Structure 1
Amino acid sequence: MTDYGFWSLVPPLLAIGLAIKTKQVVFSLSLGIFVGYLIIQGGNFFEGFLATITAFVDVFQSLGNTRTIILTLIIGALIQLIKFSGGINGFINWVQKRLSGKKNFKGKIQATSALTGFLIFVESNISILTVGTIFRPLFDKHKIPREKLAYLADSSSAPSCVLFPLNAWGAYVMGLLVAFPNVDPFTTLIYSIPFNFYAILTLAFVFWLSLSGKEFGEMKKIAEQLPEEETKETDLTAGKTSSPLNMIVPIAAMVLTMPLFLIYGGWDPSVTGGLTDKIWHSISNGSGSEAVLNACFTGFLTAAFMYAFQKMLTIKTFIDQSFKGMSDMLVMAILMVLAFAIGNLCNELGTGIYVSRVTSSWLIPEVAPALIFIISSFIAFATGTSWGTFAIMISIGVPLSFAVDANLYLVIAAVLGGGVFGDHCSPISDTTLIASVASGCDHIDHVRTQLPYALFTGGLAVICYLITGFIV
């Protein structure tokens, strides 16, 4: 692979800077991708232009990318069906009845949204889309900033996903660890969980902010500027209410079947050992994106059959509402294509490898976990992908931990936590984009308001790794 050195940083940093400056994310990502392929093509504008178009098409060569984009459309259709059934309004009324009249009503609404994101730990995009879409009317009604909803959805999803191994995230990380014959993937992942300080601190901070009512930085400014009148949403479900089960059951079907599809997809009857050994082998070998997509279709079909049984849906309304929900996700799907494309570009340029190479010489055993966390954070910030960061840094971190005699579980936790932290801070991250779109707030406003909170918990995580590095 050609070594582009410092030039490998230019496209992602250009995209990030332009996005913050212009607030035009599609334009910024597209220009960053074009500049990247211009670098690869040696400055030839025509070849760079053709390579950029090819890059957008190549996104769909990855089954995982294609499944994720289709997943976004299916989630849109599912959420629209739930809206049409009145299930969202029913759930909102159910929440309000149980929280109304109680002390700190707004805080409990925020904590409930964060808890919902925490419990849907099967996949971060599903978690963010569900929380953002379902709780947006409730936040609007009670004058809680949508930016706060975007933060709660974003910061309760990936941290919970990375702490629970029974999902696509766990399968992916264990798949990366399989490459090292002297490392037990499951044991290593489980033992690293208590050291994933960023994920743990972020979840604790999310619930503390929700219940305490404290705000600081840009979030506080936006909360103070919120207009007195309620923000109204116009959609087909206005005034339509049904049982909250019309929302809870389809989502529960989606969440509960995902681990089953993951086990089914990776099941190998020839594996020796007990049932537990076979299950964990299946999880590490299963396709996370395939399991999540199958689970989404399960939730989607569950909703369709439920509402048809209640005589709420005909074939025509089912098709019309499904396509309406998919069309609502079109912008998000485009943003995901761009996010995947710039991720592929950074991989081709070797952005993450360059960053890790120029910084790895600093590492000494005691401070290795803290520095690995920082390096992983910067790679995720620059590339917009936590999973890509995991792939780069686990391949470096595992042999490095043996070479300098650093604690392997600390190192793995630092890679995972750093990847999530950098992803939270990055304007070009797909999850950051999804959180802003699902919550209905300006994307850059979401980045600006989330950044101080992420930096606070990220800074605490660095301190924890510095202390733990000298103790463990």
Structure 2
Amino acid sequence: MGLFILNGFSLADTFGATAGLFFKLVSQAWIVKTLGFALLVGSVVLLIENSGGIGGFIHYVQKKHSIITSARASLLLAYFIGILIFVESSITSLIAGTVSRPLTDSYGVSRAKLAFVCDSTSAPVCSLLAINGWGALLLGLISTQILDGVLVADDIDILLRSIAYNFYAMAALVVTFLVVWFNIEIGPMKNAVVINDSSKNYGSGKIGHMVYPILLMILLVFLFLYITGSGNILKGSGSSSIFYTMIFTVVLSILYYKIDGVMSIKQGVFLSLRGIRKMIPIATILLFAFGIGEVTNELKTGLFLASFTSNILSPHYLAFIIFLLASVMSFSTGTSWGTFSIMTPIAIPMAVAMNAEVPLVMGAVISGGVFGDHCSPISDTTIISAMASECDVVEHVKTQLPYAVISGLAASVMFILFSYI
């Protein structure tokens, strides 16, 4: 429909533009690498499952040491993994879902609830602890405003103060913890499908068969961020890093399992290809999501919304309106980073012209980007969280939305309140 509008309502031109759009998408290295990451996730998960590593992990935390003994504890495991692994949102969701899913299944926790916990800790934590690509992007966007003469300030100081006003991320983490601790189920989550997998046999391998590949994954992300950033982790490429990480994790895991006598190289390669095939539908959804984002960007929806409201705002409501605009834009395009890139050069000049608090307005941009991305059915983190939890994407979006809206309302109140203060 977007291309139909852009091409003057001509069907012939729309079909041509559609082909051109997908050719353009698969010509972009970062998109190809992100799709490659999504496919290779299936390989890693299947290798770990067939090595018996998950069985070893379950035995260790449930029977040997009685660490995880309840549904709440199994979800708290996913929650704290999401907080501790803040290097990259996709990796965060993947590890939290893969590690916790067998345990949540055994305690009758719906996979929709696990997907919610994975999704609600990944992007919010990455945007708060910005010692990663998120921080690098935001710092670069703020620095551009200083170079353009809009701001006369220190970019790092502005970034740190903006993160302190990232109210949505803070609210999402608090709400998620309360939902887990008190087992709060509202809206569609009450009717989420529960797959009681307590009888599933994950084998009886060693805990190391699961832990070592996951530790390797975390270390490799840092390594490739360092390499792609030419010695600076903050300047590393997220898409390249996660793609190279998954390739090396698959290869080294197969070699490790071969040396440990778990499987042959041939079996490892066969399982990897089976895992890739399993992820093709998810990669296809991601590709279409990128396509929708590209079309929405060409329609300049975000710029229209921003210009539409710029002349009717009070400084007391600027941060709140910027938060709403960024939320709508991020939801529509499925990308928080794209939203940051569009909204920062709009929001900061508006804040300066209206004598509003720049870090507060920038915090609203970050919060809105994360909120919209969190709710969006075409967001890569939404799709990957559902994939890692083996939950249907549509079910994940429906069940997560009420909780995200509660966090969004809390953030809205905070932006209005702090604007007056």
- Secondary structure at the residue paired with 2:9? coil
Q: Which amino acid aligns with 1:51?
A: A
Classify 1:101/1:41 alpha carbon distance in 2 versus 1 (closer, same or farther; 3 Å).
Answer: closer
Residue 222 (str. 1) matches residue 192 (str. 2): yes
TM-fit CA distance, 1:183: 5.1
Partner of 2:141: 176
Q: Which amino acid aligns with 2:22?
A: F
Partner of 1:58: 24
Counterparts of 1:186 and 1:314 in 2: how far apart (Å)? 51
Classify 1:294/1:190 alpha carbon distance in 2 versus 1 (closer, same or farther; 3 Å).
Answer: farther
Counterparts of 2:64 and 2:29 in 1: how far apart (Å)? 43
Instruction: Find 2:387's aligned residue among 421, 428, 437.
Output: 437
CA contact (8 A) 2:82 2:121 kept: yes
Equivalent positions of 1:226-375 (< 5 A) are 226=194, 230-231=196-197, 238-267=201-230, 282-375=232-325
Instruction: Find 1:212's aligned residue among 175, 182, 205.
Output: 182
1:378-408 per-position Cα deviation (integer Å, ceiling 9, x unaligned) = 1111222211111111121122222222222
Partner of 1:73: 39
Partner of 2:101: 136
Instruction: Find 2:110's aligned residue among 145, 169, 178.
Output: 145
CA contact (8 A) 2:107 2:198 kept: no
Instruction: Find 2:398's aligned residue among 427, 448, 453.
Output: 448
Counterparts of 1:101 and 1:92 in 2: how far apart (Å)? 10
CA contact (8 A) 1:335 1:430 kept: no
Residue 187 (str. 1) matches residue 153 (str. 2): no
TM-fit CA distance, 1:233: 8.6
Partner of 2:414: 464
TM-fit CA distance, 1:283: 3.9
CA contact (8 A) 1:175 1:284 kept: no
- Secondary structure at the residue paired with 2:8? coil
Q: Which amino acid aligns with 2:116?
A: Y
Partner of 2:63: 97
Partner of 1:18: none
Counterparts of 2:22 and 2:2 in 1: how far apart (Å)? 13
Bigger mean CA offset, 458-467 vs 349-358 = 349-358
CA contact (8 A) 1:258 1:291 kept: yes
Q: Structure 2 unaligned segments of length 5 or more: list them.
A: none
Using the size of structure 2 for normalisation, the TM-score is 0.92
Alignment length (residue pairs):
416
Q: Which amino acid aligns with 2:137?
A: Y
TM-fit CA distance, 1:155: 0.8
For the aligned residue pairs, the C-alpha RMSD in angstroms reads 2.3
Instruction: Find 2:122's aligned residue among 144, 157, 182.
Output: 157
1:90-113 per-position Cα deviation (integer Å, ceiling 9, x unaligned) = 2233232378498x8211111111
Classify 1:258/1:189 alpha carbon distance in 2 versus 1 (closer, same or farther; 3 Å).
Answer: farther
Residue 36 (str. 1) matches residue 6 (str. 2): no
TM-fit CA distance, 1:61: 2.3
Classify 1:178/1:288 alpha carbon distance in 2 versus 1 (closer, same or farther; 3 Å).
Answer: farther
Percentage of identical aligned residues: 38
Partner of 1:377: 327
TM-fit CA distance, 1:294: 2.8
TM-fit CA distance, 1:179: 1.7
Classify 1:266/1:185 alpha carbon distance in 2 versus 1 (closer, same or farther; 3 Å).
Answer: farther
Classify 1:438/1:265 alpha carbon distance in 2 versus 1 (closer, same or farther; 3 Å).
Answer: closer
Classify 1:296/1:409 alpha carbon distance in 2 versus 1 (closer, same or farther; 3 Å).
Answer: farther
CA contact (8 A) 1:192 1:413 kept: yes
Counterparts of 2:322 and 2:131 in 1: how far apart (Å)? 25
Counterparts of 1:122 and 1:76 in 2: how far apart (Å)? 21
Q: Which amino acid aligns with 1:145?
A: S
Bigger mean CA offset, 206-215 vs 437-446 = 437-446
Counterparts of 2:245 and 2:88 in 1: how far apart (Å)? 10
Q: Which amino acid aligns with 1:254?
A: M
Counterparts of 1:232 and 1:55 in 2: how far apart (Å)? 45
- Secondary structure at the residue paired with 1:366? helix
Classify 1:304/1:51 alpha carbon distance in 2 versus 1 (closer, same or farther; 3 Å).
Answer: same
Classify 1:98/1:114 alpha carbon distance in 2 versus 1 (closer, same or farther; 3 Å).
Answer: farther
Bigger mean CA offset, 125-134 vs 314-323 = 125-134
Instruction: Find 1:47's aligned residue among 9, 13, 20.
Output: 13
TM-fit CA distance, 1:184: 4.0
Classify 1:233/1:349 alpha carbon distance in 2 versus 1 (closer, same or farther; 3 Å).
Answer: farther
TM-fit CA distance, 1:37: 1.0
TM-fit CA distance, 1:241: 2.3
Q: Which amino acid aligns with 2:391?
A: C
CA contact (8 A) 1:166 1:259 kept: no
1:259-302 per-position Cα deviation (integer Å, ceiling 9, x unaligned) = 332233223xxxxxxxxxxx7xx344332222232333343344
Classify 1:187/1:314 alpha carbon distance in 2 versus 1 (closer, same or farther; 3 Å).
Answer: farther
